[in-house]
Amino acid sequence: MTTTLPAYDEVVARFEPVIGLETHVELGTNTKMFCGCPTDFGGEPNTRVCPVCLGLPGSLPVANKAAIEAIIRIGLALNCSIAEWCRFARKNYFYPDMPKNFQISQYDEPICVDGYLDVEVGGETVRIEIERVHLEEDTGKTLHVGGATGRIHGATESLVDYNRAGIPLVEIVTKPITGTGALAPDVAKAYVAELRDVIRTLGVSDVRMEEGSLRCDVNTSLNLPGAEWGTRTETKNVNSLRSVERAVRSEMLRQASVLDAGGRITQETRHFHEDTGDTTPGRSKETATDYRYFPEPDLVPIAPDPAWVAELKAALPELPRVHRRRLQQQWGLSDLDMQSVLNAGAVELIEATVAAGTTPAAARKWWLGELSRRANESGVELAEIGATPAQVAELQGLVDAGKLNDKMARTVLEGVVDGEGSPTEIMTNRGLEVVSDTGALTAAVDEAIAANPGIADKIRSGKVAAVGALVGAVMKTTRGQADAKTLRELILERLGVQG
């Protein structure tokens, strides 16, 4: 494509974005939604299947109680009303990823409705309204063969593995999110991050985007100020938090360029490409979807006992937002500082480092400093950087014990990230320990004084600031392995000067 995209600032000055997010979360139950097959990730093809999830004649589904409990807890954490009575529905479609030719889902009677999730973006709280949270079953995995590309176009056959078919899947749908302007991409990302944290706190899913246990579809449209909402597109295949933000931004730019050229937006599904950050068109929705939903006759309605729901509500854990506010207070951080901790994805890491015995200030320094820098450089999430909170705590312990100075600690931390071992191992292997042998240090100091008589005289005559030059000289001869503060005191002492 040769079309030049307009500048983002210019687009948001002229258009108002409306976004909406549909998030799918695979629950971490032991068994599938409607049968007792295990749900573990991986496994040889078609080894976790039975007559129910293969849709064999005569088999009957029975709902997994743990999955019902999990979705009610999710609904409660998202401030939803829990339906007093609801049903499953059949969604009929012709595609081999479900062997039954339909998916059991929920249609006009979702189990949770009308909730919200507050997220923080740029120091402001944005309330994201939740339309519905419903339960369905995941599909099998299809592999397209016979074509060169592995994509469905050009393929002649599909090979299907039904291990994933029937795993409980929770779908969380927002209401259209308006009025966020230039922040729309950040709001989308912050929402998915917050949702992930909430669900992880509930312990009902491992919510790993890279393994597909949390998947996100992003709806985007643009309209002129005061005009009706524009036609929306749905971007699928958005598999990381960073991609959520990039997908909204790139779709806003693309739509603006189409509209500027006098074109119109087609209501369609688009696919996000991680490598280029672009979206390309998939199925057009205008010709499409007639799922002929009807109530699932093989499952009885769900009518959660209000006493049970109240019990689940009372037992909800402290949710991330409340938890963060408590930590912010404990750590003595300003809103802005807490926001940068949050943006860096460092809340849990710092918390765990503090729990391992480090002060909040020191833990924050490592995670937001060296480690964030390394994570940015290599384009990975901070949590995936390769250093653990326990290792950071160990490193700080060595600093506190006077065995490492700040510069050496940074070198050791680099080693930790590069997988060289624990901080203590790296310190020993690289011979990085601070020289604390006063005899050796005193000798080095005396040597430096003798070699720099002019500087020594200056210090003796009261220009204490000149001590830096001697500290530098000793550091050189000890290869940086002396503690600067101790060294400074020792030099002044040898010169008979009061610090």
Partner 1 sequence: MAAISREEVAHLARLSRLAVTEEELDTFAGQLDVILQAVAQVGEVAAADIPPTSHSVPLTNIFREDVVTPCLTPEEALSGAPDAEDQRFRVPRILSEDVAS
Q: Which of residues 283-302 bind partner 1 (CB under 8 A)?
A: 283, 288-290, 292, 295, 297, 299-302
Site string (126-165) toward partner 1, x via CB under 8 A = ----------x-xx---xxxx-----xx-xxxxxxxx---
In the complex with partner 1, the residue whose CB is nearer, 300 or 355, is 300
Residue 106 to residue 119: CA distance in whole angstroms? 27
State residue 168 phi and psi, 5-degree precision.
-60, 130
Q: Do residues 133 and 71 make contact, with C-beta atoms less than 8 angstroms apart?
A: yes
The least CB distance from residue 276 to partner 1, in Å, is: 21
Question: Which helix or strand (DSSP H or E) is residue 448 part of?
Answer: helix 438-451
In the complex with partner 1, the residue whose CB is nearer, 52 or 198, is 52
Part in contact with partner 1 (CB under 8 A); list of ranges 113-121, 227-235, 280-288, 355-363: 280-288
- DSSP letter assigned to residue 210: T
The least CB distance from residue 204 to partner 1, in Å, is: 12
The least CB distance from residue 202 to partner 1, in Å, is: 16
Q: Do residues 309 and 75 make contact, with C-beta atoms less than 8 angstroms apart?
A: no
If we measure between CA atoms, which residue out of 142, 120, 107 comes closest to residue 191?
120
Q: Is 306 in the site for partner 1 (CB under 8 A)?
A: no
Question: Which helix or strand (DSSP H or E) is residue 295 part of?
Answer: strand 294-295
Select the residue interacting with partner 1 from 46, 329, 359, 429 (CB under 8 A).
46
Residue type, 92: N
The least CB distance from residue 348 to partner 1, in Å, is: 27
The least CB distance from residue 65 to partner 1, in Å, is: 4
In the complex with partner 1, the residue whose CB is nearer, 156 or 498, is 156
Using the Cα atoms of residue 485, residue 488, residue 491 and residue 495 in order, give the sign of their dihedral.
negative
Q: What does the block give as tokens for 180?
A: 């966020």
Site string (97-116) toward partner 1, x via CB under 8 A = xxx---x-x-----------
**Regarding beta strands 81-82 and 102-105, do their DSSP bridges make them parallel or antiparallel, or are they unpaired?**
unpaired
In the complex with partner 1, the residue whose CB is nearer, 134 or 488, is 134
The least CB distance from residue 253 to partner 1, in Å, is: 25
Residue 480 to residue 432: CA distance in whole angstroms? 9
- How many residues in the shown chain lie near partner 1 by CB under 8 A? 73
Q: Is 48 in the site for partner 1 (CB under 8 A)?
A: yes
Question: Which helix or strand (DSSP H or E) is residue 327 part of?
Answer: helix 320-331
What's the chain's length in residues? 499
Select the residue interacting with partner 1 from 66, 202, 319, 497 (CB under 8 A).
66
Q: Do residues 223 and 229 make contact, with C-beta atoms less than 8 angstroms apart?
A: yes
Binding residues for partner 1 restricted to 19-38, rule: CB under 8 A: 24, 29-31, 35-38
The least CB distance from residue 156 to partner 1, in Å, is: 6
Binding residues for partner 1 restricted to 80-99, rule: CB under 8 A: 85, 87, 91-99
Burial (Cβ within 10 Å: 0-12, 13-18, ≥19) of residue 378: exposed
The least CB distance from residue 163 to partner 1, in Å, is: 9
**Regarding beta strands 268-272 and 16-26, do their DSSP bridges make them parallel or antiparallel, or are they unpaired?**
unpaired
In the complex with partner 1, the residue whose CB is nearer, 87 or 246, is 87
Using the Cα atoms of residue 139, residue 100, residue 104 and residue 316 in order, give the sign of their dihedral.
negative
Binding residues for partner 1 restricted to 394-453, rule: CB under 8 A: none
Cα separation values, 367 from 223, 346, 371, 420, Å:
41, 7, 5, 19
In the complex with partner 1, the residue whose CB is nearer, 301 or 369, is 301
If we measure between CA atoms, which residue out of 417, 497, 426, 427 comes closest to residue 457?
497
Burial (Cβ within 10 Å: 0-12, 13-18, ≥19) of residue 373: exposed
Binding residues for partner 1 restricted to 216-275, rule: CB under 8 A: 269
Q: Is 466 in the site for partner 1 (CB under 8 A)?
A: no
In the complex with partner 1, the residue whose CB is nearer, 170 or 395, is 170
Q: Is 303 helix (H, G, I), strand (E, B) or coil?
A: coil
Site string (158-197) toward partner 1, x via CB under 8 A = xxxxx------x-x--------------------------
Q: What does the block give as tokens for 302?
A: 């769900």
The least CB distance from residue 113 to partner 1, in Å, is: 19
The least CB distance from residue 161 to partner 1, in Å, is: 5
Part in contact with partner 1 (CB under 8 A); list of ranges 5-13, 63-71, 178-186, 203-211: 63-71
In the complex with partner 1, the residue whose CB is nearer, 17 or 166, is 166
Question: Which helix or strand (DSSP H or E) is residue 169 part of?
Answer: strand 168-174
